[in-house]
Chain A
Amino acid sequence: MPIIVDHLNCIYEAGTAMEVVALSDINLVIPDGQFIGLIGHTGSGKSSLIQHLNGLIKASSGTVYFNGEDIYDEDYDLKKLRSKVGLVFQYPEHQLFEVDVFSDVCYGPKNLGLSKKDVELRAYKALKMVGMDDEYFYQSPFDLSGGQKRRVAIAGVLAMEPEVLILDEPTAGLDPKGRDEILGLIKKLQAETGMTIILVSHSMEDVANYVDRIIVMNGGSVMLDGVPKDVFAHYKELEEVGLAAPAVTYIMQQMKEQGFDVGTDATTIAEARDEILRALGR
């Protein structure tokens, strides 16, 4: 069942001099199993939007339907919603706190009131999903590398067995290999479990490489929504709001301007390579 966002508005400190419209009239349908990239400059409303999706912020008006139910209904169980829609914050490793990796991942499911056996089973499964070997389970999470800590933090959310996983810039501060590893892991999770993924990212290259659909936020509204190729075709508008197309889109554009017979809609290195090879007649 999808998530439906219906005429959602969010105004912070309404009626005061500090009033800020964070979201205005957002309408979205997020089907099951989709891999979505959410982009927008700092302050465009991305974080406000994702915090509405698991009920951390209550909308000023409008509503969110999850699995057909209005999450603002009086008898709706928000706690259940938060276990179904998992949110991985920026720098999630700052939230690690337990004495060892395994206990840290157990913390979430333990709070769901499951039996000890079920909790441990879920933690084990989650740690395996993120590719952590048994040898790390009883180490302090603080002794791990940056990329490993982040995996453990993601496992903590996966152990809740969410249907939707939202990640706020999961690759910030990681080295290029670490970035590829985390994104590869997310893609694998989506393919294997059919989980819906919403990835907030500042990297246009990452978004172009991994997602099925891009939602662009600007000034609290949805500015563009579509498959990567269509969204990045609007690269001039994206630049006006502090974003950009992937680097290869600009390369193709410049080649065309200088007389090469190439299409300009490539968004990944592989597409650009194939298009240039075609133009060269190879």
Chain B
Amino acid sequence: MAKDNVMGSSSKRREDVRFLKGRGRYTDDMNRPGQTYAYILRSWSAHATLNSVDTAAASEAEGVIRVFTGKDIEEAGLGGVPCGWEITDKNGDPMKEPAHPILATGKVRHVGDPIAVVVAETYQQARDAAEMIDIDMTDLPAVVDMRTAETLGTGVHDEAPDNLCYDWELGDAAATDAAFASAAHVTTLEFINNRLVANPMEPRCAIGDYDQDADHYTLYTTSQNPHVIRLLMGAFVLSIPEHKLRVYAPDVGGGFGTKIFHYAEEAFVTWASAQIKRPVKWTSDRSEAFISDAHGRDHVTKAELALDAEGKFLALRADTRANMGAYLSTFAPCVPTWLHGTLLAGQYATPAVHCRVRAMFTNTVPVDAYRGAGRPEATYLLERIINKAAQELGMDQAELRRKNFIRSFPYDTPVALQYDTGDYDATLDAVLKMADYDGFAARKAESASRGKLRGIGLSCYIEACGIAPSSLVGALGARAGLYEAATIRVNPTGSVTVMTGSHSHGQGHETTFAQVVSDALGIPEDQIEIVHGDTDKIPFGMGTYGSRSLAVGGSAIVKAVDKVVAKGKKIAAHLLEAAESDIVFEDGQYKVAGTDKAKAFAEVSLAAYVPHNYPIEEIEPGLEETAFYDPKNFTYPAGSYLCEVEVDPQTGKVEIVALSASDDFGNVVNPMIVEGQVHGGLAQGLGQAMLENAAYDEHGQLVAGSYMDYAMPLAVDLPSFNVETAEGTPCTHNPLGVKGCGEAGAIGSPPALVNAVVNALQDHGIDHIDMPLSPLRVWTAIQNASVKQAAE
């Protein structure tokens, strides 16, 4: 029997034991017999003509097996790194999609662009030999600032001399203009959403292993979605059919989006392994990760909010430039468009919304999805401009939001989404209570008595998760479906092996998915094994991102379980000599309704594999079912966050005093894991708001290229969090009623923190400071405001 209430219980994570004993199996922990090591020589120039690459000396160095350049790749006829999403611009034209070669030829386009690879017997030999490669480059002007990229006269790519990838719009421009014309008040906010580096603690790693006897390739890689890598790399880069290519991602040490994408290094080691007939391993170091992992965010935006005299939102207008970097990464084009523009209604019944997005090529590392992907940018835009409006109108930040909440569902937004369910008052009420919003004035006075400025900032976010209905995303430009697959293999003695296309990189799927199956089949969790990450074992999969694993992957598991139970009922009916329609399955027993006749789950499983007494004319032996689940809609997690800060006006230092979060994730399977996901998201969001900035200088050099310069949030930077998961409104269209929780913290928290700091400084006349709110920026804002106030 399963233990009671397995759903909703905080089962301890089964994967923890191996991690805690140092027995996790990450890609870099693996080594293949006869393995060689690759070192990648990368461009130190942001933009240059590549005149020549002389590898003669390096090729002769000790231990070197081969040195590869872009010319070798070109001669082999390999494809470039593909992009998985095509955006159609506002004129109906496809986006500009320049080639993204595995190794640069002709030009380098960002610091970190790979030029040559040394493959040697040891890593040290490969690295030493790379220093002997003689490269002749002629620097070109670097395109860095998106605001001047169109008129600079230098193109990152010949196909886009104005550096414009696409100019896209969503929403009714005329209706929005009309609403602005009749508005009692218009609030305007111009801001930068700062560029971030995802920084999973495990650097990327890839091992290519070609088996010449079987003409078969294996790629071991740090990936959130091995099947997607097999599809993209096999079909578009190396022309290897699926049955000749296995992609295996063992334990993955964090991803946060940046391990979704197909990277050139994966294709290189796979291909090179066949060239030298030995395995090739590449492991990124952290400095290399900063200039080769896809970055996140990086928007420059002007937003306007039109309100009537009572504070009702009439319309929202947004004009954004989004950085694509030097090449289009796998999902890059959809992030500032369909994952950003569509979220601009937020939790509010704004009748008209219009959003324009210009995606720009620059001489910087490619930018793609990072925890939240477009939704943090949309939430920041909306939640910041609402607070600025409240400040201008002298209204309470909570009351202004409450005036505008959507309260009737399903709700069709003016930006293409249909919210199925939600209760925004509930999470707002909860967070105001959790954070003692009413007691803020007293705390502010107490802080003031110590010379500190206290502020409180609210943010009410919504996100679209459970990505996504395939037909819908196909219409929007996705070059793949976004369903998920699962196989339930019931073994003869009644244990269960679950093969899932979702792939944990820290989310605890081995625990949560076992809880789901335990609950559905009424068998103990320890009788259930979760298998993931290996294209040879799992039928198919689209992987883990966009808070989709439980909502989409979990739903596929439930569908497969339903098929198992349906077949089990036929077997049980035969064994119990009853009509199939009289069989009910509950608590791990097939029962004849209204009688005490029953067969246990394991008895039916055994009968399926030892079919002596079996309805063999009607059904086949065995008990294994596969299901694909294609979601009917996105899911819409939502919640309210309150951040309270103390600012030291002498130094500009911000201290986060409290962070309270109330989230509606629908049903929750494992509250412990869900709260842990929120904690981690909050840390990344607060990191964006206060610390992190992947800054480039005007020459295209990444100034923050290591942990010396890129401020990762440390334990001392953060408080303990006050996180509660609301009773919630279950998702109406997936079988588990779940919405997804992985990105919420990173989406909701940046505006909460900035709103809190601006709230603390509002008496100085400050109404905005761009992230990250470093002491220097805050101090400078205070000084400038003081000078301005003195002048007035």
Instruction: Please determine whether chains A and B interact with each other in the same assembly.
Output: no
- Residue numbers of A with Cβ under 8 A of B are none
